[in-house]
Amino acid sequence: GQKVVLITGCSSGIGLRIAVTLAKDEKKRYHVIATMRDLKKKDKLVEAAGDAYGKTLMLLPLDVCSDESVRQCINNVKDRHIDILINNAGVGLLGPVESISIEEMKRVFETNFFGVVRMIKEVMPDMKKRRSGHIVVMSSVMGLQGVVFNDVYTASKFAMEGFCESMAVQLMKFNIRLSMIEPGPVHTEFETKMMEDVAKMEYPGVDADTVRYFKDVYLPSSIDIFEAMGQTPEDIAQCTKKVIESNSPRFRNLTNSLYTPIVALKYADETGGLSVNTFYNLLFNFGPLMHITMSILKCLTCSCLRRRTISPN
Ligand code: NAD
């Protein structure tokens, strides 16, 4: 029979694309429940789903930050039966920490960390009873490696990775699979929203040097990295489809082979010096030459490291 897949954050970006890709599966193997906070934002998804809408794809409202909304949403699913839960909803946060209030930081954790925990808590008991299920979480390479000026976002993804790494062990006992997808940069509204936030940003309490490092050194390099390395939501949707269709899905799934050398640094030197120094050099010494740095990185991506990613095709 059809597998019931529930996805969070489907009004845009990666979530929208996963929902459409699964709903349009040629063999119609999935019944997709695409959820979003505000159903008024459904038009883009409905349009992209085309004929699948109302057949293999249905919509439900869901705010991952609300206990009540999460419970109601799952109660509205037939028999509360979900085979595959895809935790995709997430928010970014960029900038010098001095200028970010603790309230704003908590909002990021409320979505990226507690949002996932809330969903898993609601869905897991039924999966345990059935001794089957697959939980997929949209992490990031920033769940594996800290990135300057992404301090709080990175921390929220690390928190989630720690949670999942711990959960995976007991879930295995119940025949429930857990997989994390770890994309590098992806061209979505995420990037646009963050750049808009940055444009609006004021820097109360931040010294002039830090503001300059952020605006004139970090931001241009970051835009270069997006251009040189960015994947499409379609790429990530294909990777996710592969993961849920695998007989033995991996726990960690990097999607971008250009990032594997950066992640490998961490495992190559357990003191952390190699990672911190490399990132320092990338930003402050090679930053202005980011295009050249990117070409070097591409050369460095030898086949043995590339094998560790999951590719969209
Ligand atoms: P996006 O902004 O297009 O999508 C995020 C979605 O989550 C939006 O539809 C948003 O409305 C939704 N959302 C936010 N708060 C929510 C809440 N409380 N309840 C329900 N939905 C909520 O960006 P995206 O790039 O598609 O992001 C999807 C996921 O991919 C996020 O978890 C993000 O951290 C992760 N990711 C993105 C990138 C990237 O470069 N874009 C890279 C790695 C990982």
Is residue 286 assigned to a domain?
no
pLDDT band for 259, please (50, 70, 90 cuts): confident
Please give the C-alpha separations between residue 186 and each of 19, 172, 237, 280, in angstroms, as whole numbers: 17, 30, 11, 23
What is the average pLDDT score of the chain? 92
For residue 31, pLDDT beyond 80: yes
More reliable by pLDDT, 250 or 293: 250
For residue 58, pLDDT beyond 80: yes
Considering the chain, what percentage of its residues have pLDDT values greater than 70?
93
Rounded to 5 degrees, φ, ψ at 183 are -75, 155
The stretches of the chain forming alpha helices (DSSP H) are 13-23, 43-49, 67-75, 102-112, 114-130, 151-173, 189-200, 208-212, 219-229, 233-245, 260-268, 273-280, 290-300, 303-306
Residue 153 bears catalytic tag: yes
3-17: average pLDDT: 98
Structure tokens at 292: 């050249």
**Host domain of residue 198:** 3-206+231-256
Q: How far is the CA of 273 from the centre of ligand 1 (A)?
A: 31
Q: How far is the CA of 35 from the centre of ligand 1 (A)?
A: 12
Is residue 22 assigned to a domain?
yes
| Sequence-distant (≥ 6) Cβ neighbours of residue 205 within 8 angstroms | 98, 99
How many domains does the structure of the chain reveal? 1
Q: How many residues does the chain have?
A: 313
66-99 pLDDT, tens digit each: 999 999 999 999 999 999 999 999 999 999 999 9
Rounded to 5 degrees, φ, ψ at 29 are -80, -10
pLDDT band for 119, please (50, 70, 90 cuts): very high
| Sequence-distant (≥ 6) Cβ neighbours of residue 234 within 8 angstroms | 17, 21, 312
Measured distance CA(294)–CA(262) in Å, rounded = 12
Ligand 1 pocket test, pick from 7, 43, 116, 188 with the greatest ligand atom count within 8 Å of Cβ, gives 188
pLDDT band for 257, please (50, 70, 90 cuts): confident
Is residue 251 assigned to a domain?
yes
Is residue 39 assigned to a domain?
yes
Q: Which atom of ligand 1 is nearest to the CA of 226?
A: 40
Q: How far is the CA of 79 from the centre of ligand 1 (A)?
A: 28
pLDDT value, residue 298: 62
19-34: average pLDDT: 98
145-192 pLDDT, tens digit each: 999 999 999 999 999 999 999 999 999 999 999 999 999 999 988 777
For residue 41, pLDDT beyond 60: yes
Is residue 180 assigned to a domain?
yes
Q: How far is the CA of 226 from the centre of ligand 1 (A)?
A: 16
pLDDT value, residue 228: 81
For residue 46, pLDDT beyond 60: yes
Measured distance CA(107)–CA(93) in Å, rounded = 10
For residue 305, pLDDT beyond 80: no
Is residue 222 assigned to a domain?
no
Ligand 1 pocket test, pick from 38, 108, 186, 195 with the greatest ligand atom count within 8 Å of Cβ, gives 186
**CA-nearest residue, atom 12 of ligand 1:** 9
For residue 47, what is the domain's CATH number?
Answer: 3.40.50.720
Is residue 20 assigned to a domain?
yes
Q: Which atom of ligand 1 is nearest to the CA of 230?
A: 40
Is residue 223 assigned to a domain?
no
Pocket (CB within 6 angstroms of ligand 1): 8-9, 11-15, 36-37, 62-65, 88-91, 111, 115, 138, 140, 183, 185-186, 188-191, 193
